[in-house]
C-alpha cells in the first residue's frame, strides 16, 4: 500500500500584512493570505483567475519573517494542507489552510522594498550556535489546543 502525500508549493503575493500572535501556551502563530494568479483560455482570449490561500506559520519562522511579510510582497510557500472542522449553532463548518514548513521572500513589495533573498530556514542564529538550548515542541495544529488557546 502506498503512503499518502500532502505537499503544497505556492508562489504568490501577500494580500495584507501578516498577523503574529501568541497562544496562551506561548507558541507564536503567524497568519497571512496570498493571492495566486492563474491564466486560463476563454474562447480566443486569455483571462486571469485569482485564487486566495490562507497560510499558518508556527514558531520562530513567523517571528523572524513578520517584518518582511507585508502586503504586495511575492513569496514562495512550501507546506501541507490542513482541514479544520467545527460546529457552530448546529451547523458544520470546515476550512482548509496551508501549514507552512518553509517561506521564502522572492521579491520586494510592489512599493519597491528589497531584501528579496531572505529564507526563513537560513535566518541568522548566532546565539543558537554558541549556546544551543532545547526548543519547545511546536504543536502539530489546532487539535493540540483547546478552543481558548488559539488567538484567532
Domains of the chain: 8-146 (2.40.50.140)
Per-residue pLDDT tens digits for 91-104: 999 999 999 999 99
Per-residue pLDDT tens digits for 6-33: 999 999 999 999 999 988 888 899 999 9
Q: Report percent pLDDT > 90 for the chain.
A: 56
Q: Looking at residue 144, what is its pLDDT?
A: 55
Classified as helix, coil or strand, 81 is strand
Strands 45-58 and 91-105: parallel
Per-residue pLDDT tens digits for 123-139: 433 333 344 444 444 55
133 DSSP β-pair partners: none
Amino acid at each position: 500500500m502506498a503512503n499518502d502525500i500532502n505537499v503544497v508549493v505556492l508562489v504568490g503575493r501577500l494580500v495584507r500584512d501578516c498577523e503574529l500572535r501568541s497562544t496562551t501556551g506561548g507558541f507564536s502563530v503567524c497568519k497571512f493570505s496570498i493571492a495566486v494568479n492563474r491564466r486560463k483560455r476563454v474562447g480566443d482570449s486569455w483571462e486571469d483567475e485569482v485564487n486566495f490561500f490562507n497560510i499558518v506559520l508556527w514558531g520562530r519562522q513567523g517571528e523572524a519573517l513578520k517584518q518582511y511579510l507585508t502586503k504586495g510582497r511575492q513569496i514562495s510557500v512550501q507546506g501541507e494542507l490542513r482541514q479544520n472542522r467545527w460546529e457552530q449553532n448546529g451547523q458544520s463548518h470546515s476550512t482548509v489552510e496551508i501549514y507552512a514548513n518553509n517561506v521564502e521572500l522572492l521579491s520586494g513589495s510592489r512599493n519597491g522594498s528589497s531584501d528579496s533573498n531572505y529564507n526563513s530556514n537560513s535566518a541568522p542564529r548566532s546565539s543558537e550556535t554558541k549556546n544551543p538550548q532545547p526548543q519547545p515542541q511546536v504543536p502539530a495544529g489546532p487539535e493540540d489546543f483547546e478552543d481558548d488557546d488559539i488567538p484567532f
